[in-house]
Amino acid sequence: MSLVLIILLPTVIAENIEVDLSLEPSIADYDVGIINAAMSPDENTVLVSGQDGYIHLISARNPGDRSQDVELNSARDNDLRDIAWHPRGETALIAGDFGTALRYEKVDHSVTIVNGTGAILGRDMSAVEWRSAGDYAYFASKDGSVWRFSEGTGFMHLGNDVNSEITSISCHINYDICVVSTLSSGLGVIGPTHNISWISGTKTDTWIDVDCPDAQLNECVAFGSGLRMIAIQLNIVDHTKSTVGSMVEYQTLDGDFIAASRGYTSSSLIYLAPSGTVRYDAQNDVAKIQISSSQLADWDSVVAGRQISYVWETSFNNGYILTSNGNIIAFEPHKVEIDNSMLTTIILVAVSISVPGVILGLIYMNSPFLQRKYNQLMRKRKK
């Protein structure tokens, strides 16, 4: 088995405050038990799922406005664990326990059972994702099995199962290649013909999530317990030859990685426990603290103690955090306040410099004598 080199990069983590925080009205006045959520491709709505069949729709841009909510009925009491919007954004698939596979329809807000769920009955489905073409989706289970799905054919088992819970599936934006993360069986790659291969040397880590944030790079990123991260370098021609890069471990961070979601401008937002977020920029291979656990604790110690279920952005460093209890935390770029006395000093200096210049200019413009003297001086210099 190949060894993965570990590189410690404590210096890439920035400690300065990136954003300001504020609390929006919660989804409910009780603990709703939110497990996951997903923002629609048009970035207008967020579909939320949780315990006991909970499913709910909120505004992505004004999530604190309860008048824009849509209460949905799953007709299920199983936990709903993952959501995947179709690339066209008209429907979304929802995966849950005991073989639950549902479809949400945007046109009428209906929630129905998808075709062929008898094939996965009794399995706790832990992840779902559409591939880029939108013709097939992949469902994964806690028992280590992966299934392809289309409404026409229903569910088809991919085979080559592992003996570990599958925690996440993410598909490349431009290619019909997807990556899979597991708790103890490593990382896998699903090819265009729906066959899955497992990458050697990745079984020793506990992988909690995976993301393919950049359309231009032929790689995805896996996030593991112990603040570890690794790039998956995709072989577009032969997915079975995909490899991993060097392991990176961020020992200077507090807490641990628990999940990730897609951030703005081809980045990934990693959630920390007990609280906090980190932005990973795939193009520049840089990770920076976005919201530190200490910043959250100083802002609101009660909310900071609640698990982050989902994070989304509407622009760079403008977005929202959703907790398992249903709290909504808004964040925006940090504003630098200038002290009034300092501002007054700046204005006085600017005025003292500009006003004499304006006065002298007006005198010159209205004085033929000064203009003749200036012209004579310039002619002498030219000689």
Q: In this predicted model, which residue has the larger pLDDT, 131 or 365?
A: 131
% of the chain with per-residue pLDDT over 90: 80
| 190-215 pLDDT, tens digit each | 999 999 999 999 999 999 999 999 99
The CA angle 191-196-199, to the nearest 5 degrees, is: 100
Mean of pLDDT values over 26-44: 96
Cα 144 → chain centroid:
25
Q: How far apart are CA 122 and CA 289, in angstroms?
A: 40
Residues 6+ apart with CB under 8 A from 377: none
Q: At what angle do helices 340-365 and 368-382 cross, to 10 degrees?
A: 90
Q: What is the pLDDT of residue 17?
A: 77
Q: What is the pLDDT of residue 342?
A: 61
Q: How far apart are CA 115 and CA 144, in angstroms?
A: 22
| pTM to 2 decimal places | 0.85
Q: What is the pLDDT of residue 204?
A: 95
Q: How far apart are CA 326 and CA 346, in angstroms?
A: 45
Q: In this predicted model, which residue has the larger pLDDT, 353 or 211?
A: 211
Q: Rounded to whole angstroms, what are the CA distances from 334 to 171, 208, 313? A: 33, 30, 15
Helices marked H in the chain: 293-299, 301-304, 340-365, 368-382
Q: What amino acid is encoded at 331 in this protein?
A: F
Q: With a cut of 60, say whether residue 318 has pLDDT above it.
A: yes
Q: What is the pLDDT of residue 353?
A: 64
Tokens for 345, please give them: 């000093």
Pairing of strands 125-130, 137-141: antiparallel
Q: With a cut of 60, say whether residue 13 has pLDDT above it.
A: no
| 251-299 pLDDT, tens digit each | 889 899 999 999 998 999 999 999 999 999 999 999 999 999 999 999 9
| 125-179 pLDDT, tens digit each | 999 999 999 999 999 999 999 999 999 999 999 999 999 999 999 999 999 999 9
pLDDT bin (cut points 50, 70, 90) of residue 11 is: very low
Q: Rounded to whole angstroms, what are the CA distances from 186 to 33, 167, 221? A: 29, 11, 13
Q: What is the pLDDT of residue 10?
A: 39
Q: How far apart are CA 332 and CA 338, in angstroms?
A: 18
Q: What is the pLDDT of residue 381?
A: 57
Residues 6+ apart with CB under 8 A from 206: 183, 184, 224, 225, 226
